[in-house]
Structure 1
Amino acid sequence: MIGAGLFGHLSDSFLGRKGSLTAVCILNTIFGLLTSMSPNYWVYFILRLLTGFSTGGVGLCAFVLATEPIGPSKRAIAGMSTFYFFSGGIALLSGTAYIFKSWRILYIVTSLPSLLFLFAIIPFISESPRWYLVRRRINDAMSVMRAIAQTNGKHIPDGVTLILDDDNDDDVCDEKLEPSNQTQAISGSLVDVIRSPITRNRLFLSIAINFLTSVVYYGLSLNVVNLKTNLYLSVFLNAVSEMPAFLLTALLLNWLGRKPLCASTMFLSGVSCIIGSLLSNSGTMKVLRLVCGLIGIFGMAATYNLLFIYTSELFPTVVRSAALGGASQAAQMGAILAPMVVVLGDTIPFVVFGFCGVLGGLLSFLLPETMNKPLYDTIGGLVEGEKSEE
């Protein structure tokens, strides 16, 4: 939770998306390997805290870096495709944990992907051109755009340049006449998000919905202990049940829109959990409860990952990672509370998860639709864009 907030801010500021992702991968590897050598509980405790701190920024930084250069028509598919690797990792984790029963060896094995990512992936990806733009590094942004165009068999004509959405013609002329202006980076934080009525309402709603989603998502994953089925198989089935949700969401995002799909997936998960709470935990009913849990995971996995796309589109580049970090912090708080719900017994967790799903679906109706709308770079540009649409 702490890491999501901090690295969300650093990703918007001087470290950038790629720099922050590099940092969290390095920290993940170091803390994970050190955990395997913990001599006592308190050292283990501190290292797990530090590992959680670094892990909190991984998904956030990677997602923003992967989706910011993508246009509106392909952003949904590109964004949802990233989550196959998340669920694939969970599915592999169940098999890895079955093979390596020693927790020390398990920590070593699960730290290696971050190390591999550092050497096999990060050197071959570029920084987000949108981050370069708000940092006034126009030449760097254009270099990335030209590289993208060349890869796609296209060509950007000479003389074409990028400008911020709240720059006017005079500002552009001034930038060309005064090179020093290009070093005046635009920065933002959650304070700036809260100051603007438009972004403030969006932030509070995003925080509430992410919190409710996370309680259900992590709660259902942990609730396998109450289903009295094979632990490794249940974790594997939960991970596999998420994957069709990603494909379905990617296909429907540009047809139904973000808001209707968010509400419907939360309602699906909530209703299935409520039905599960009415079933007994014995005989055939136990299998039906497992099915209700899988449907709940299916719906909430679609919501959980859809919210990454939805939240990133609700906020401009200058505060996008910070806002997404704030929403991720709320999600982590939900993850903290989820196990406390799970230990309440066989029936109450399903009731709580059902309530959270339905309430989150209702709150999502208060958010604006972002389908086929541009990603704004500044808060001023977002405000002007909203006014022009009205």
Structure 2
Amino acid sequence: MPSENLLDHRDLQEPLILPTNEKSNGPEKLTIDDMLQKYCGEFGKWQLRHFILTSLAWALEAFHTMVMIFADRQPRRLCTGPGCQTHPEVCGLSPGSWEWVGGPGSSTVAEWGLVCANKYKVGLVQALFFFGCMIGAGIFGHLSDSSLGRKGSLTIICLSNGILGCLTALAPNYSIYTLLRFLSGLSSGGVGVCAFVLATEPIGPSKRGVAGMSTFYFFSTGIALLSGIAYIFQSWRSLYVASSIPSIIFITVVIPFISESPRWYLVRGKAKEAMEVMKHMAQVNGRTIPQDVELVVDDNIANKSKETEGIQGSLIDVLKSPITRVRLFLAILINFCCAIVYYGLSLNVVNLETNLYLNVLLNAVAEMPAFTLTAIMLDKFGRKPLTIGTMWFSGVFCLLGSMMKSYGIWKILRMICGILGIFGMAGTYNLLFIYTVELFPTVVRNAALGCVTQASQMGAILAPFVVVMGTRFPFVVFTVCGIVGGLFGFYLPETLNRPLYDTMVGMEEGEAIWNNA
């Protein structure tokens, strides 16, 4: 009887055999990449909208960076007195025998007399802007990995760019102008780091490469738009205002619709917030995440011991690991060489003696098919061969450009060589962002990308000084940088079809498996 009573009172709703995927094993634990592939979709409506809105920041960076081409240009001179026609330069001409076309307010060169003995000041202010970018990339690379996050850092950057750009238009003299451009560089340097990572981290592994290559369409479009804006606002002061207002608009209109990266939430110990982003993503994409799914980082040990406090990393961790240390060193060298060529060719349009607005537009347009071709070949040939090939392509045409004369048809051919050089190096510059993101885990990704971006800015710092050294010498420098940078690419590992790791331990274990496979 006792046994019958027990049988009679047994909870008939309790299954006799537990399903293997329920109480016996607990919730299904997935990394971000696994969840994107299995439940959310790798690139659906949510990712497309988020990608476009975030990548608009690249166009704003193009405004703040390339505005110097027009603001610091040397206008044409107009002869008003005897002897002016016989002198190719304004140096040595008597006062009153010439004047600037467009008046002294057409550029900083005309307003503050940055010619002859003061010509170096043009390169100096441009170099200081890129020096600010170098520092800013490191600062915001760290902040976006730590306390501020990707979205918070991008908001502060755009606000600073808008305010500083408008203040630059009010600069009373060269010294204040230089200071404001340096401060603008501090904020501008973080745009690429934050916008690129924020745009690509929520995208699945099989779509991330092509999407990442597409971010640079926005930068090139920004340059093309800037040439039109500069043509309309030919006063350098009004140009700074016109190119800065869009950053303020971006903060108020676009930023509220951008989401923080779920990867950042996860490694910071905010698994609940990360899951909320993933659920919203799945909903917009027309999918559903089951209730018994849990997000985890790819380092299971760290996940068990640091589940509530989060996992943190810094540049020190990158340098401690033999794997990431070598990768960082090579990425720095390649990006340094790439930046000298890319920014050098962009600024070198002032030496080509062609229509400035048209030349800048053509350079921007030339970049776009480069992005398309590299995006098509990215997953077919891999990151490593493409990096080497695009750098050498640019180096060869820079070599040809160095052989061209400065008159007649040679001048046109030299301009074409410059455009093709931009074509190759724009593809490299774009590719290197994707390559760098894939070389380092989430916990230190922005710190590493910030360091690599700093190296790019060091190259950009040197570019203006190379440009002011004549017409042929810059092409020689660009040739050497393109060829040498391609050689360094041979020593980087291929990252095609490899997972995007979250932690240092997860990466080291994963790389060991790949190398032993």
Report the TM range for the smaller structure's normalisation: over 0.9
Q: Deviations over 1:321-362 (max 9, x none)?
A: 111111111111111101111222222211111111011111
Contact 1:270 1:354 in 2 (8 A): yes
Separation in structure 2 between the aligned mates of residue 123 and residue 34 of structure 1, nearest angstrom? 25
Structure 1 residues 262 and 24 mapped into 2: Cα distance closer, same or farther (>3 Å)? same
2:293 is paired with a residue whose SS is coil
In the other structure, the counterpart of 2:243 is: 110
Equivalent residue letter for 2:248:
L
Asked whether 1:249 is paired with 2:382, we answer: no
Structure 1 residue 45 displacement after superposition: 2.1
In the other structure, the counterpart of 2:278 is: 145
In the other structure, the counterpart of 1:315 is: 440
Separation in structure 2 between the aligned mates of residue 186 and residue 234 of structure 1, nearest angstrom? 48
Asked whether 1:85 is paired with 2:218, we answer: yes
Asked whether 1:270 is paired with 2:359, we answer: no
1:183 is paired with a residue whose SS is coil
* Partner of residue 215 from structure 1, selected from 333, 340, 361: 340
Could you tell me the TM-score, scaled by structure 2's length? 0.72
Equivalent residue letter for 2:202:
P
Asked whether 1:231 is paired with 2:356, we answer: yes
Contact 1:142 1:162 in 2 (8 A): yes
Contact 1:188 1:318 in 2 (8 A): yes
* Partner of residue 455 from structure 2, selected from 326, 330, 338: 330
Equivalent residue letter for 2:434:
I
Contact 1:4 1:325 in 2 (8 A): yes
Asked whether 1:44 is paired with 2:167, we answer: no
Asked whether 1:303 is paired with 2:436, we answer: no
Structure 1 residue 40 displacement after superposition: 3.0
Separation in structure 1 between the aligned mates of residue 162 and residue 439 of structure 2, nearest angstrom? 32
In the other structure, the counterpart of 1:373 is: 498
1:10-89 equivalent positions in 2, closer than 5 A: 10-89=143-222
In the other structure, the counterpart of 2:253 is: 120
Structure 1 residue 226 displacement after superposition: 2.1
Equivalent residue letter for 1:371:
L
Separation in structure 2 between the aligned mates of residue 227 and residue 267 of structure 1, nearest angstrom? 23
Separation in structure 2 between the aligned mates of residue 361 and residue 38 of structure 1, nearest angstrom? 41
Structure 1 residue 183 displacement after superposition: 3.4
Equivalent residue letter for 1:274:
L
Give the percent of matched residue pairs that are identical in Structure 1 and Structure 2: 65
1:82 is paired with a residue whose SS is helix
2:294 is paired with a residue whose SS is coil
2:234 is paired with a residue whose SS is coil
Structure 1 residue 140 displacement after superposition: 0.7
Contact 1:268 1:299 in 2 (8 A): yes
In the other structure, the counterpart of 1:98 is: 231
CA RMSD of aligned residues (A): 1.3
* Partner of residue 296 from structure 2, selected from 140, 163, 187: 163
Separation in structure 1 between the aligned mates of residue 246 and residue 193 of structure 2, nearest angstrom? 17
Structure 1 residue 136 displacement after superposition: 1.0
Structure 1 residues 36 and 343 mapped into 2: Cα distance closer, same or farther (>3 Å)? closer
Structure 1 residue 70 displacement after superposition: 0.9
2:295 is paired with a residue whose SS is coil
Separation in structure 1 between the aligned mates of residue 186 and residue 318 of structure 2, nearest angstrom? 23
Q: Deviations over 1:203-248 (max 9, x none)?
A: 0100000000000001111111222111111111111100111111
Name whichever of 308-317 and 222-231 sits farther off.
222-231
Equivalent residue letter for 1:95:
G
Equivalent residue letter for 1:236:
L
Separation in structure 2 between the aligned mates of residue 245 and residue 279 of structure 1, nearest angstrom? 24
Asked whether 1:195 is paired with 2:328, we answer: no
Q: Deviations over 1:275-328 (max 9, x none)?
A: 111222221122111111111000000000111111011000011111111111
Separation in structure 2 between the aligned mates of residue 233 and residue 7 of structure 1, nearest angstrom? 34
In the other structure, the counterpart of 1:387 is: 512
Equivalent residue letter for 2:193:
L
* Larger of the two Rg values belongs to structure: 2
Separation in structure 1 between the aligned mates of residue 324 and residue 476 of structure 2, nearest angstrom? 32
Query: Unaligned stretches of 5+ in structure 2?
Result: 1-133
Structure 1 residues 258 and 56 mapped into 2: Cα distance closer, same or farther (>3 Å)? same
Structure 1 residue 108 displacement after superposition: 1.0
Structure 1 residue 37 displacement after superposition: 1.9
Separation in structure 1 between the aligned mates of residue 351 and residue 168 of structure 2, nearest angstrom? 29
Structure 1 residue 97 displacement after superposition: 1.1
Separation in structure 2 between the aligned mates of residue 207 and residue 220 of structure 1, nearest angstrom? 20
Equivalent residue letter for 1:151:
V
Higher relative contact order (CA 8 A, sep 6+): 1
Contact 1:72 1:371 in 2 (8 A): no
* Structure (1 or 2) with the greater helix fraction: 1
* Partner of residue 467 from structure 2, selected from 327, 342, 345: 342
Structure 1 residue 41 displacement after superposition: 2.8
Equivalent residue letter for 2:140:
F
Separation in structure 2 between the aligned mates of residue 103 and residue 225 of structure 1, nearest angstrom? 16
Could you tell me the TM-score, scaled by structure 1's length? 0.95
In the other structure, the counterpart of 2:365 is: 240
Aligned residues: 382
Separation in structure 1 between the aligned mates of residue 174 and residue 408 of structure 2, nearest angstrom? 40
Separation in structure 1 between the aligned mates of residue 403 and residue 169 of structure 2, nearest angstrom? 42
In the other structure, the counterpart of 2:308 is: 183
Separation in structure 2 between the aligned mates of residue 76 and residue 300 of structure 1, nearest angstrom? 18
Equivalent residue letter for 2:151:
K
